[in-house]
Amino acid sequence: MKNLKPFVFIVLSALLLGLFLAACGGKEEPTPQPEPTAVPPTTAPEPTDVPAPTEEPTAVPEPTDAPEPTEEPAAAMTDLTSAEGGFSLQYPADWYTADLFGFTIIASAEDLLDTAEPGAEGAVVMVLSGPTDEFESDDPLTALNMAIDESIVGNDMEVVDGPTAVTIQGQDAAVATVKGTADDGTPQTGYMALIIGQGDGAGRAGIVIGMAPAEMEDEFLPIFKDIANTVAITAAAEVESGGGAAATEGIPESQGFLLYGDTVSGEVAAGDVSAWEFIGLEGEMIDIVVTPDDTLDAVVNVLDESGASILENGEVDDNFDTEEILGLTLPADGTYYIVVRGFADGGGTYELTIGEAGAVTAPPAGGDSGGIAYGETVSGTVSEPGAISSWTFTAVSGDLVGLVVKVFGDLDAVIDMVDAGGVSLLETTRDTTLGNENLLVEIPADGDYTIQVAGFEDSTGSFDLTLGYPMSNSVFASAELTEDEVDAGQVYPFIALAGNMVGIIVSPEEGLDTAVLVEQDGVVVEGIGYAAERGFDTLDGENYVFIAPEDGVYQFVVKNSVDTEFGGNTGTYDVGLHSSGNTIFELADQDTTVAITDGSGFVEYAIRGLAGQTLTLKVEPYTEFDAVVMVTDADGNLLQEETDAAGAGEIETLTYTFDEEATIFIQVHDAAGAAGAVYVMTVSLQ
């Protein structure tokens, strides 16, 4: 057992079981995913290459009328029976095994039981089974195809043989040979089998996954097949429930499975309980924090598989607000249940966080918390020194998110953004002014994130927090600040409507320190998060976002820092302009844009040219749509249009020559008028 301690295998166990059930259509619906935000990382404002379209999922073959018979194993095998897992099999007598709660690992070398990368250095076989009562289909081919498509073992998984319908020990099954790569880049070959139980194993199914380096496939692929061909699904041993010191009789129905670092929101009905399960190992120390709403006085317990409390004094109710169970040592390997109920049969909502000891902290009293969604504004309070107000939202990898905090009273806001495990996305907390704050950050992965607002030097007060929609319109450029431009700086004009959230990211070369101002009609806009005489000025580049107070023509001004230490410096920088609304950015020669068409169906830009200059626009679709590119004058009269020249999904090129010096407008849209079309456009003005 000691070689199975790495947490990666606990995660693997949970995910494999979740995959196995979900792949066949479990009761939970998948979380809807918004359209991807076509915005390159903030640390590298140059636009990224346009990714190739995702390959279509593996086609589902039709079941054959006569499944292939099970082959006899060639190597000397020994028996393995997992009563808890609900299966039996045979494996090579000189291989090694480990088991955790019915999840079995078989490896060609003992040290491979301890690897975080199954199949990267030698042969590893993983076996797991589960009930099929939530399956939509008991066709093993259908289930295996979906499991391959969603597999968490290996990367870029590709089927090279199968899936094929077979019988294994008299059970309906499907098998396939796959190829992929490990996280470290090692080419891998794998063998997968999905087996539907019969007889004593009716109502259950198992999955077998064998992985090895591709260079060893001749040695290990036949052994993977031999192991899979001996698997028999059986009834799993049941865990009896007991009373113990549990707050309820037996084990309550679980609302879901937790991993260390997770934060979830739950609700307790009056007179009822709410429970969550997790897997832990003997000797692990964990923290659990439950933060209820104002209506709930939470009572918290932790139960083992028998339904008995593992807390020294039973359930915890030490406070009227946040309950903390810190440094809890798990007594044994197993599944545990966190149970939340209301004191005196009360009900309400709560937020629960679980993590390794020392990794979970509760917000200090005096800071409110809740949920926030894209496009919403919430009001919060930091009512006590040291308090943190926390607001959680759900995001998708690649979202470029802007937020603005407007303060009231004496609050000098300090802001942070953390992931579900409490890890900050920022190098340091954000405190750039004596009052209002803003932040523009790229989301690294799908999940829940929390915006934290506190007071600098224990200041208190209230605030409004606005979370913008993901930035869907971006312009990228490179420029140089010369000695002649040190005082005036360089301008980036745009037209914005009241309420538009507009941001800028400036990444200067080493030795250049920049500052950013926002002007409207040539006058510095005050009260939006910086000192008017100084501009928005931080070290190592600027990252600034604001909300347009009214309809109008604005411009970002990028200039060298006014700090004496950096005064007069010059150099090159990259700049990205970003908006979550229908902002019209003014373009220039060599600019690149990345955008998603919104509800209006098009994205609009402006550009100014001199008489005789030729404008060339190249629009490359990121999604499959028929791009239309058009230019109009300031009165909306069509000057030129390019469409259907290349066909759907192909590059459209428009060339226009200026008859006189003028500002014209560019529109890009889908010929079908639909929102959600993603493209990259390059600009040449010669």
**Judging by beta carbons within 10 Å of its beta carbon (0-12, 13-18, 19+), is residue 415 exposed, middle or buried?**
buried
pLDDT at residue number 242: 34
Contact predicate 351/326, CB 8 Å: no
**222-246 pLDDT per residue, tens:** 999 999 999 999 987 654 433 333 3
* Measured distance CA(159)–CA(148) in Å, rounded: 8
Dump pLDDT digits (tens) for 106-157. 999 988 887 767 878 899 999 988 887 645 567 888 888 777 766 556 667 7
pLDDT of 419 > 50? The answer is yes
**What count of other Cβ atoms lies within 10 Å of the Cβ of residue 372?**
20
Pick the closest to residue 578 from 544, 553, 608 (CA basis): 544
Q: How far apart are CA 527 and CA 433, in angstroms?
A: 11
pLDDT at 656 over 50: yes
What is the band of 253 on the pLDDT scale with cuts at 50, 70, 90? confident
CB 653 within 8 A of CB 640: no
Q: 79, 88 in Cβ contact below 8 A?
A: yes
CA distance linking residue 338 with residue 357, whole number of Å: 16
At 641, is the secondary structure helix, strand, or coil? Answer: strand
pLDDT of 230:
95
620 closest CA partner among 666, 579, 678, 686: 678
In 358-508, where do the E strands start and end?
369-371, 377-382, 388-395, 400-409, 413-419, 437-442, 447-455, 461-467, 473-481, 490-496, 501-508
The residues facing 191 across adjacent strands are: 177, 210
* Span 324-345, pLDDT tens digits: 898 899 999 999 999 999 988 8
Convert the pLDDT of each residue in 44-86 to its tens digit: 334 444 344 444 444 444 444 444 444 555 568 899 988 878 8
pLDDT for 203 equals 85
pLDDT of res. 319: 72
Say whether pLDDT at 185 is over 90. Answer: no
* 562-592 residue pLDDT tens: 554 545 578 889 999 999 878 999 999 999 9
Q: What is the per-residue pLDDT for 246?
A: 36
Q: State the average pLDDT for the chain.
A: 80
In percent, the amount of the chain with pLDDT more than 70 equals 78
What pLDDT is recorded for position 129? Answer: 83
> How far, in Å, CA of 668 to CA of 623, rounded?
14
Amino acid 365: pLDDT: 52
Question: In a 10 Å sphere around its CB, with 0-12 CB exposed, 13-18 middle and 19+ buried, how is residue 508 labelled?
Answer: buried
Contact 250, 308 (CB under 8 A): no
> What six digits make up the tokens of 238?
């049941």
Q: Which residues contact 656 (CB under 8 A, 6 or more apart)?
A: 614, 615, 617, 631, 639, 640, 664
What pTM was estimated for this model as a whole?
0.51
For each of the domains in the chain, give its residue range(s) and CATH number, in order of start.
2-233 (3.40.1000.10), 254-356 (2.60.120.380), 369-467 (2.60.120.380), 473-587 (2.60.120.380), 592-685 (2.60.120.380)
Average pLDDT estimate for 392-401: 92
450: exposed, middle or buried (C-beta count within 10 Å: 0-12, 13-18, 19+)?
buried
